Structure 1
Amino acid sequence: MNKIAIIGASGYIGRHLVAELVRVGGSRVRVLTRQKAAGSTGFEWPSDVEVINGDMHDEASLLRFLEPNCTLINLAYLWNGGELANLTVIRNLLEACKVMRVKRLIHCSTAAVVGRVSGGHITENVECRPITEYGVTKLKIEQAIIHASEGVFDAAILRPTGVFGPGGEPLKKLSNDLVNGDRLKNYLKSCLFGTRRMNLVHVANVVAAILFLIRRSERIGGEIFIVSDDEKSNNNFLYIEQFLMRSLNCTNYPFPQILLPLDVLSLLLRLLRRNNINPRCNYSQEKLESIGFRSPVDFDDGLSEYAKWYRATYFAASGEMAK
């Protein structure tokens, strides 16, 4: 039986990962959580998940949590901690991995580490140029893991793009704006964003990628893998907006969108000091697929699932009946 240890399990990806591990069976699952963490969010762990109270700052609790020959999944990030705090806890974790002789560390990073690149086809070999503290810190965490794992334990880095699905954040603002927002502002935004790539990936595909790396018998050796749904041409603002408008029963705009050149959007993103200023970029999942991975959820099916969840949630909260 696989021994799986998860840090950051109470987050969005983590909750889906734990649920899927429990559903498929064959693994003993442990999660590390701070005192009162589950109660504060109202989230209850499945009964067959072993919950260990501890903190990434506390090396002793990490040693209690980890087991020899386990596979560790790290989904944690200290959002209010900054670079120093995040690098400190990752070094604590890596030292604990060495002491407890873990079999493999799978670290969930982010495609945001790529930052500002000029090309439209993004692979794991592209030189990363992040400009935000988040992107810079995430990249340094990746580098620390790869360096520390060499010759000691196996490691893999996943870089998901924007993770969406029921309860997820990436499409929530767009959906709220379409349902409740100013229609003129929505129209102007649609003209500006047009065919901008949205770089979304369904949460079930991210979870499936983690499970794929857990089960992989061959050594991974610190390799980095992008997980994305960018091979779908529909993964752009205009298509997703129209899909959601139909699904959420929103009246279409009275006039066709006048699509502005994407270079205008790129300039605006640069002025706003955004990390990614290339509205045409696609993150390639080819490397992960080359070793046998296949995404289980089709992009349009994922959009349909999200729209169904949003409708049920929105109309339940507003007291209206979903049509």
Structure 2
Amino acid sequence: AVEFLGDSARVCPAEPAVEDGRPVEAGEDFADVAGQRYAKRALEVAAAGAHNVVMSGPPGSGKTMLARRMPGILPPLTMEERIEVTKVHSASGEGNGTLVTRRPFRAPHHTVSTSGLAGGGSNPRPGEVSLAHHGVLFLDELPEFSRTALEALRQPLEDGQVTISRVAATLTYPARVTLLCSMNPCPCGYAGDRRKVCRCTAGQIERYQGRISGPLLDRMDLFVDVPRLTRQELREERQAEESSSVRKRVSGARGIQALRQGSPNSALSGRRLREVCALRGDAETLFSRAVDRMGLSGRGHDRVLRVARTVADLSGEEEIAAEHVAEALNYRRSHLVGR
């Protein structure tokens, strides 16, 4: 340091760490999950367009196992994204000063406070939703979270940032996340299960599901049922696809979106949404009928279009076809939608 200050020595700029090519820890691979092809496809679509997901199913169906493997199918962080994520982690006091190279995966416990989830406190700090910026925020057992904490997520899910106002200052933290939630269909967890009888009353199920507000559910893009597999289904499962193969398709779709609009499809809005997600022919007819039958809200209408655009991108198609719309609509078919 003395030699450098005295101009007798030169210090070369530090080179950023080279990505080691392993976006997930060993063992966290989609190939480890037997069956659940529908859920895996839904997570692939969600990863490709940065869409929010709710998985519902009985205990032991694999919801948490699937969720923890989602970072492995996401494309690597760009240098700009790495810097943004590192800044947030530094503001929270996390990290050791090195550049973050892997997409964040945050899984707070359901007892987390509102400020812990969304950010805040007497000395405002980023919450879990900001610490998951450019990554995945996983909320396991969604109805068990406090309603106040969940409602605090509405702004960041819509705007991609959290604003915290205090007398001394107003702070804004980035919060562009993929929200991934899991829940049981009822208090006992076995409503609709093929092998175990649910012992909950209709009123108990309604109150349990009612812990999640309609406005929050309206901000979710995909609703996925994850049933328990039978022993025969587990035995018949062939070699499952590895995360690396899925990640190639996801990265390809993200690349298409970056060239077309400079952001994931989940961020499309306004006139740009209408331009990129324009429907024609059979696709327009199918969607118009579905909007009336399913009673989609304005926000739900736009979310179906964004998911359909992502499905088309995964297929490498420039135009959204009827089959792409049909798949997107199928992800809105849930007992949670429209209640």
TM-score (norm 2): 0.30
Q: Which has the larger radius of gyration?
A: 2
Q: Could you say which structure has the greater relative contact order, defined with CA pairs below 8 angstroms and 6 or more residues apart?
A: 2
TM-score (norm 1): 0.31
Larger % of strand: which? Answer: 1
